[in-house]
Amino acid sequence: QRQDEYRILHEADLRDYLAGLPEVAARLGGVPASWSISEVGDGNLNLVFIVKGAAGGVAVKQALPYVRLVGESWPLPLSRSHYEYLALTHQARLAPGLVPAVLHHNEGLALVVMELLEPHIIMRKGLVAGALYPRFAGDITTFLARTLFFSSDLAVTAAHKKEGIAAFAGNHALCKITEDLIFTDPYRVAEQNRWTQPWLDATAAAFREDLDLHAAISRLKLKFMASPEALIHGDLHTGSIMVTESATMVIDPEFAFYGPMGFDIGAVIANLLMAYLASAGHERTAGERRLFEAWVLETVEDVWTEFASEFLELWRTEGHGDGYPRTLFPGEAGALRLEAERQAYMARLFRDTVGFSAAKIIRRILGLAHNIDFELIEDPKRRAISEARSLRLARAMMVDAESFPTIGAVTKAAREVR
């Protein structure tokens, strides 16, 4: 680890810098002058360089002192790179093989050098193209169950947990982005909001007046702010997941902090639901994406079901944290009662997941940051149809939780929404 004074690394700078890191230089191979460097950052916040040499490649991510999408008028702390580094190394320990390996970190430069993921692509792009990822549900549920469980009070001591919260507490500027852009702005007049006009004008206005919805989103916001259940990724949409047909890798945990587990699970489910509801807009011939659409909804179901069973199994076998002391549940009656508690916990977590999932959908349609699932539907009227269906589903999921007791109820509603 190094601590240089911050400067934005341009290509020549970066080449010299990497040449000075023996491990990275060896991985790239050949002389530094032969390395190819290209900036590929397509995210909203940071610079990402792909560097390739004769022997291999690396990805280099550098934080900018502002939000890339908006510019210097919106400053954002460089420390997010440090939190991304902390989260990546923590996730690598808990969910090996599901995040890129960190090769180098320089906190001063807000720089992380990591394993190059190749030939992986951003999952969202694959979903827009109608690709199926048969390994995805299995992999992402393992990532979710292990990272969430092992950072929770069910697995660790109270002291360890509180040290973890402290280690990430400084990442509040990134939390504030979520608090504003997901939990507040889509429901009020805000300069940065946008939606597909004029078709969604009436719905956007109705959402700004809907007190049932405002109460529901505020409950979720408070849960996001005041529930340090586990170390969450914090930005787990399908643009933060890179895939091949046989592998899944989670990237970009710069929003990580101790928050509610349902926020991460809900992010995955929301993004699958949006891929499903956008799919009709990408059709060139009627019915050509039917297989894809069936797979997406099946995957929504698998994500919750497999997550729940993996999480429960970890709790049963490795639940040695201070949260639910086994000594309070002795004998057969104790074991039964503890299992009932676990089931009740999962039911509560499912409700959170459905609510957060709805919040993640609404922000992508009425807020600042949109996604290519919808944006690449060229005909705005067709796009608006997919978006309006998504908003209707999301509103029901948020305000009418009793109608969604199971994940099957969610996929059924997605299938039927008009």
Binding site for Mg ion (CB under 5 A): 43, 45, 138, 141-142, 252, 254
CA-based nearest residue to 216, from 387, 358, 366: 358
Return the one option of Mg ion, ligand ADP, none that residue 408 interacts with (CB less than 5 to 8 A, by type): none
Does residue 232 contact residue 263 with C-beta atoms inside 8 Å?
yes
Interface region with ligand ADP, contact rule CB under 6 A, candidates 18-26, 35-43, 224-232, 359-367:
35-43
Return the one option of ligand ADP, Mg ion, none that residue 142 interacts with (CB less than 5 to 8 A, by type): Mg ion
Return the one option of Mg ion, ligand ADP, none that residue 138 interacts with (CB less than 5 to 8 A, by type): Mg ion
Q: Is 373 in the site for ligand ADP (CB under 6 A)?
A: no
Return the one option of Mg ion, ligand ADP, none that residue 386 interacts with (CB less than 5 to 8 A, by type): none
Residue 15 region by backbone torsions, left for phi larger than 0, else alpha for psi between -120 and 50, else beta:
alpha
Return the one option of ligand ADP, Mg ion, none that residue 346 interacts with (CB less than 5 to 8 A, by type): none
Q: Is 114 in the site for ligand ADP (CB under 6 A)?
A: yes
CA distances from 66 to 44, 62, 346 (A): 10, 12, 39
Which residue's CB comes closest to ligand ADP? 43
Is 151 strand, coil or helix? coil
Q: Which is nearer to ligand ADP, 21 or 396 (CB)?
A: 21
Count of residues that bind ligand ADP according to CB under 6 A: 20
Q: Is 59 in the site for ligand ADP (CB under 6 A)?
A: yes
Q: Is 48 in the site for ligand ADP (CB under 6 A)?
A: yes
Other C-beta atoms closer than 10 Å to the C-beta of 70 total 14
Report, in Å, the least distance between residue 100 CB and ligand ADP.
4
Q: Is 76 in the site for ligand ADP (CB under 6 A)?
A: no
Pick one of 28, 35, 46, 353: the residue that binds ligand ADP (CB under 6 A): 46
Return the one option of ligand ADP, Mg ion, none that residue 100 interacts with (CB less than 5 to 8 A, by type): ligand ADP
Report, in Å, the least distance between residue 198 CB and ligand ADP.
31
The pairing of strands 46-52 and 102-106 is unpaired
Q: Is 122 in the site for ligand ADP (CB under 6 A)?
A: yes
Pick one of 61, 237, 364, 389: the residue that binds ligand ADP (CB under 6 A): 61
Element (H, E) at 67: strand 66-67
Q: Which residues contact 371 (CB under 8 A, 6 or more apart)?
A: 124, 237, 239, 271, 274, 364
Return the one option of ligand ADP, Mg ion, none that residue 116 interacts with (CB less than 5 to 8 A, by type): ligand ADP
Q: Tokens 């799919």 appear where?
A: 279
C-alpha to C-alpha distance for 186 and 178, rounded to whole angstroms: 12
DSSP string, 317-360: HH--SSSS-GGGS-HHHHHHHHHHHHHHHHHHHHHHHHHHHHHH
CA 125 to chain centroid, in Å, comes to 15
Q: Which is nearer to ligand ADP, 96 or 405 (CB)?
A: 96
Pick one of 83, 99, 100, 350: the residue that binds ligand ADP (CB under 6 A): 100
C-alpha to C-alpha distance for 115 and 61, rounded to whole angstroms: 11
Q: Is 236 in the site for ligand ADP (CB under 6 A)?
A: no
Side by side, which strands form the sheet with 102-106? Answer: 36-39, 46-52, 57-63, 111-115, 102-106
Report, in Å, the least distance between residue 45 CB and Mg ion.
5
Report, in Å, the least distance between residue 42 CB and ligand ADP.
5
What's the token pair of residue 117?
């993921």
Q: Which is nearer to Mg ion, 293 or 310 (CB)?
A: 310
Other C-beta atoms closer than 10 Å to the C-beta of 384 total 22
C-alpha to C-alpha distance for 329 and 171, rounded to whole angstroms: 37
Report, in Å, the least distance between residue 257 CB and ligand ADP.
15
Report, in Å, the least distance between residue 386 CB and Mg ion.
23
Q: Which residues bind ligand ADP (CB under 6 A)?
A: 40-46, 48, 59, 61, 100, 114-117, 122, 240, 251-252, 254
